[in-house]
Amino acid sequence: MPDGTAFPLKVRSMVGLIPLFAVETLEPEVVDTLPKFTRRMDWFLSNRPDLCNQVVRQETASGKRRLLSLVNEGRLVRVLRYMLDEREFLSPFGIRALSRYHREHPYVLTVNGHEHRVDYEPGESTTGLFGGNSNWRGPIWFPVNYLLIESLQKFDHFYGGRFQVEMPTGSGRRMTLWEVAAELSRRLTRIFLRGPDGERPVHGNAEMFQRSPHWRDLMLFHEYFHGDTGAGIGAGHQTGWTGLVAKLLQQSGEWTQTGGGW
């Protein structure tokens, strides 16, 4: 505000999940080839303990493997509890940009007599704000989902099978982070695959695309997808990021070949 007053906006959105992207594992055999980097890292670990709680170390047969992350193990558990909750971020078709919690509990902030709201809008926007674009208020985006999958795989590389979470939250079914990443991949690819009813979620209510033998196998790479139904929304030519589904399909084949199941 002009007088310096600040209001923290407690919205459950993708903003709270993006810190998961900042993760990397340093293998001992790689670190050993970088003496200058190692010297600076050791100085940092020794002299700035106040900033080192995000660096996790683990002994391996060949030395120390280090995890660099903005999210330590405790925070990771708490974040994933929300992210993998079907009442929150987890959709049948991936991770929503905004928690479904806000459908019944919109975030409301009143400033100088004006009410500002953040509602869960899984599809097209119900208002003309931002040009009528609902982008970050509920739909599913492929690029951020893909980065979440990669991040979970990196965490699993470090923690291995000892780190397990409920998937979905509250189900009692526990998975490793690698298995969680595989399940998210399945949900994303489900957007384009025919379901038991013979329809593809991506086509939504477009009867011609769902039924016509000339059109039903032709799919567009939509900008984003309905958070509850998986229907394609926005621009229909986003091969730059929605085309990542091809990589997910490739990974699914590799996962099966290694005996991990799919």
Q: Where are the domains of the chain?
A: 23-69
User: In this predicted structure, what is the pLDDT of residue 130?
Assistant: 60
User: In this predicted structure, what is the pLDDT of residue 255?
Assistant: 58
Count CA atoms within 13 Å of residue 251 on its CB side: 19
Residue with tokens 């998986």: 230
Count CA atoms within 13 Å of residue 253 on its CB side: 5
Neighbours of 225 (CB within 10 A): 30
Q: What is the mean pLDDT of each run of 10 residues along the chain (262 residues)?
A: 85 94 90 90 86 70 79 91 97 96 92 85 74 75 95 92 94 95 95 93 93 92 94 87 91 62 45
User: In this predicted structure, what is the pLDDT of residue 56?
Assistant: 73
User: In this predicted structure, what is the pLDDT of residue 178?
Assistant: 94
User: In this predicted structure, what is the pLDDT of residue 59?
Assistant: 63
User: In this predicted structure, what is the pLDDT of residue 12?
Assistant: 94
User: In this predicted structure, what is the pLDDT of residue 262?
Assistant: 42
Which is nearest to 149 in space by CA: 187, 201, 206? 187
Q: Is residue 138 packed enough to be buried (19+ CB in 10 Å), middle (13-18) or exposed (0-12)?
A: buried
Q: Are 254 and 262 in contact (CB under 8 A)?
A: no
User: In this predicted structure, what is the pLDDT of residue 128?
Assistant: 64
Label residue 75 left, alpha or beta by phi (over 0 means left) and psi (-120 to 50 means alpha). alpha
